[in-house]
């Protein structure tokens, strides 16, 4: 009779075994419900060493082996590898310490699965061609948070680096947080990919750099005593005064619009007004607005009001009354 053949072993009593009672692999299988093959494999790897050998050389197990086998099964069901199981059984580590390591590993796997799901959902939405664009989407979405931040930092350094900007404007423009969450939506993944493509576009960088340079030049012309935040103050002034003009039904080419320009910019100065118009047209570029929208979308935040309509009115008025 083959001692490892569980089908030929007689049923075992339900009472706990005596301390001196020994079992073959087949008997241990019947007692615990574990397959003979699994018990033999765990025994071969050292996770379940036999208590002794029979006269014929068959492995034998005792009551302690039954308890050890149950522990091995539990640890394996929790996802521990056999190396970790052996370390726990040999008291080289504790179950708690191994559990902490596995929690970290599971968290990383869950994060990866969530991101993979979001990428697939973005692909399934069909907003992008399913070939090269899908590869790009997958690549950019899988970047680490530090790598994503580096892309934005490089963009900001090229656009604003070395310029004497209004301190408050500089802080507002360069302190940009772009954080794709651990559990992003398909829309956030799609927004991040579009944002990465936009900030990598040399033409977009050139246009934004031109706006920043104009602002720095204007600040230099007005002298070092200019108060910080003057640009933002002017923007609020435009929103307020143009908003009132629009509410009153004044069209940009109406005679009354000239008075609004005088109150905003002082006496007519063709050169200065031409410069203001250039800055508004550059800053009001549709891609600039899209940049703001994408940053907000990735961060899961509402888009701050752009007041694009007020500045569009001002640009039209400057053209009409130049």
pLDDT per residue of the chain (322 residues) written in tens, 0 to 9? 344 443 444 444 434 444 458 889 999 899 888 899 989 998 888 888 898 888 888 899 988 888 888 888 888 887 888 888 888 888 877 777 777 777 777 777 677 677 777 777 766 666 655 565 666 667 777 777 788 888 888 888 888 888 776 666 666 666 677 888 878 888 888 888 888 888 889 988 888 887 777 666 655 555 444 554 555 677 788 888 888 989 999 998 998 988 888 888 877 667 778 777 777 776 656 777 888 888 888 888 887 777 778 888 888 888 888 7
For residue 7, give the DSSP letter.
Answer: G
Three-state DSSP class for residue 280? helix
Which string of DSSP letters, residue by residue, matches 52-67? EE-TTS-EEB-HHHHH
Note the pLDDT of residue 175: 60
Rg (CA), the chain: 36
Query: Could you tell me which of 142, 293, 133, 268 has the C-alpha nearest to residue 197?
Result: 133
Separation between Cα atoms, residue 129 and residue 126, nearest integer Å: 7
Residues 6+ apart with CB under 8 A from 215: 163, 165, 166, 169, 231, 279
Tokens of 225: 């005593």
Note the pLDDT of residue 215: 64
Note the pLDDT of residue 36: 92
Note the pLDDT of residue 60: 92
C-alpha count within 13 angstroms, C-beta hemisphere, residue 218: 19
Distinct helix (H) and strand (E) counts, the chain: 15, 2
What phi and psi, each to the nearest 5 degrees, are found at residue 64? -65, -30
What phi and psi, each to the nearest 5 degrees, are found at residue 53? -130, 145
Note the pLDDT of residue 19: 47
Note the pLDDT of residue 167: 67
The pTM score is: 0.53
Separation between Cα atoms, residue 18 and residue 64, nearest integer Å: 11
Note the pLDDT of residue 11: 42
Note the pLDDT of residue 251: 92
């Amino acid at each position: 009779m083959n001692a490892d053949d569980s089908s030929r072993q007689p049923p075992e009593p339900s009472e706990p075994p005596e301390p001196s009672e020994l079992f073959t692999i087949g008997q241990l299988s019947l007692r615990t419900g574990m397959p003979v093959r699994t018990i033999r494999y765990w025994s071969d790897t050292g996770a379940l060493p036999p208590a002794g050998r029979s006269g014929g050389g068959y492995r034998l197990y005792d009551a302690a082996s039954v308890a050890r086998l149950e522990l091995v099964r539990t640890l394996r069901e929790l996802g521990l590898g056999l190396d970790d199981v052996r370390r726990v059984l040999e008291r080289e580590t504790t179950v708690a310490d191994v559990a902490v390591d596995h929690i970290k590993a599971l968290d990383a796997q869950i994060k990866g699965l969530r991101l993979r799901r979001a990428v697939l959902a973005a692909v399934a939405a069909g907003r992008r061609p399913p070939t090269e664009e899908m590869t790009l989407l997958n690549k950019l979405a899988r970047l680490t948070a530090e790598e994503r931040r580096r892309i934005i930092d490089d963009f900001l350094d090229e656009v604003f680096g070395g310029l004497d900007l209004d301190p408050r404007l500089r802080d507002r423009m360069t302190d940009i947080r772009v954080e794709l969450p651990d559990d992003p939506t398909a829309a956030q993944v799609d927004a991040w990919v579009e944002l990465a493509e936009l900030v990598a576009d040399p033409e977009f960088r050139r246009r934004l750099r031109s706006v920043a340079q104009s602002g720095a030049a204007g600040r230099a012309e007005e002298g070092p005593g200019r108060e910080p935040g003057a640009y933002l103050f002017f923007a609020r002034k435009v929103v307020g005064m143009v908003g009132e003009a629009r509410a009153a039904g004044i069209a940009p080419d109406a005679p009354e619009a000239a008075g609004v320009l005088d109150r905003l910019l002082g006496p007519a100065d063709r050169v200065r007004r031409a410069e203001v118009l250039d800055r508004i047209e550059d800053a009001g570029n549709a891609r600039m607005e899209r940049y703001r929208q994408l940053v907000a979308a990735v961060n899961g935040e509402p888009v701050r009001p752009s007041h694009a309509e007020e500045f569009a009115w001002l640009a039209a008025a400057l053209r009409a009354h130049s």
